[in-house]
Amino acid sequence: MEYDLIIVGMGISGISTAIYAKNSGLNVLLLERDTPGGLLNKINVVNNYPGYARVTGPDLSFSLFQSIMQLEIPYKKADVSRVLVEGDWKLLKTNVGDFRAKYLVLATGRSQKKLGLQGEERFYGKGISSCALCDGNLYEGKDVCVVGGGNSALEEALYLANIVRKVYLVHRSDAFRAEQALIDKIEEKENVTILYNSQVTDLLEKEDQLVGVVLDKEKELFVSALFVYVGFLPSISCVSDLGILNSKGYIEVNSNYETKVKGIYAVGDCIQKDVYQLITAANDGVMAALDIIKRNRKRGLN
């Protein structure tokens, strides 16, 4: 099927793009391989988005999805495996068929990095997690370990501290990168033990179950779960052969959020920028949509 615009990814940047494009009269299709809302569904509390003094990530995600439903913007659950450029058209190969569009916006986001430990993949979902909101209740009254030093790690450690018996917060440096307000809160939690200048170097298992971790190849820490928050990687596999990535693996865009390939844009967390926040992701989507709308009108006049 053919569209004016296809948007890959239904996080806040992709949905913002879709809303503006739909309201301008463009024929829009949204594609999402997972759950609408993206990483929002893994966030416990959002308290820095305009219009919401305090809202859970899943609730904000649902509100965004309601906007799509109210505007009757079509969407499909699809995994895009490859993007091909055919003249002015972009062909998307997916597991549910092929789709073509004049314009393409990549809002594919980022995925959380892993530690690279032996056996790590095997224990994901069975003792290792990157979503305290999803899995925290499984470890009520038990001891857990959180790895990381940014906002995500501290936010999740705070959330877990209200559920589990004890949280070991492991950070490889001697100072957190998180906001000071979060640092103050984590230091006040009596059941959170902070382990600075430490790294998880191995996993402890017994009868195919995770029973703990090893710190710095020598200290054993017996915990029921390991929660990992050590940064992100852009999700760009479907366009890795288009020559639009920078040296760090992010999609490179200009001031209008267009890539080196005419008609292909990228917004949100898959592009490299100084600030990764919900409000900046929404802005990316709006600015890309406005440029596409303007260009499409000029094309219609020619």
Task: Show which residues are catalytic.
Answer: 131, 134-135
Distance CA 28, CA 217 (A): 52
**Cβ neighbours for 200, distance < 8 A, ≥ 6 positions apart:** 115, 117, 145, 147, 170, 213, 214, 215, 226
> What letter would DSSP give residue 119?
T
C-alpha closest to that of 253 among 241, 240, 268 = 268
CB 27 within 8 A of CB 3: yes
Decide: residue 54, CB within 10 A, 0-12 exposed, 13-18 middle, 19+ buried. Answer: exposed
C-alpha closest to that of 112 among 32, 229, 227 = 229
The secondary structure element, H or E, covering residue 226 is strand 225-228
CB 278 within 8 A of CB 49: yes
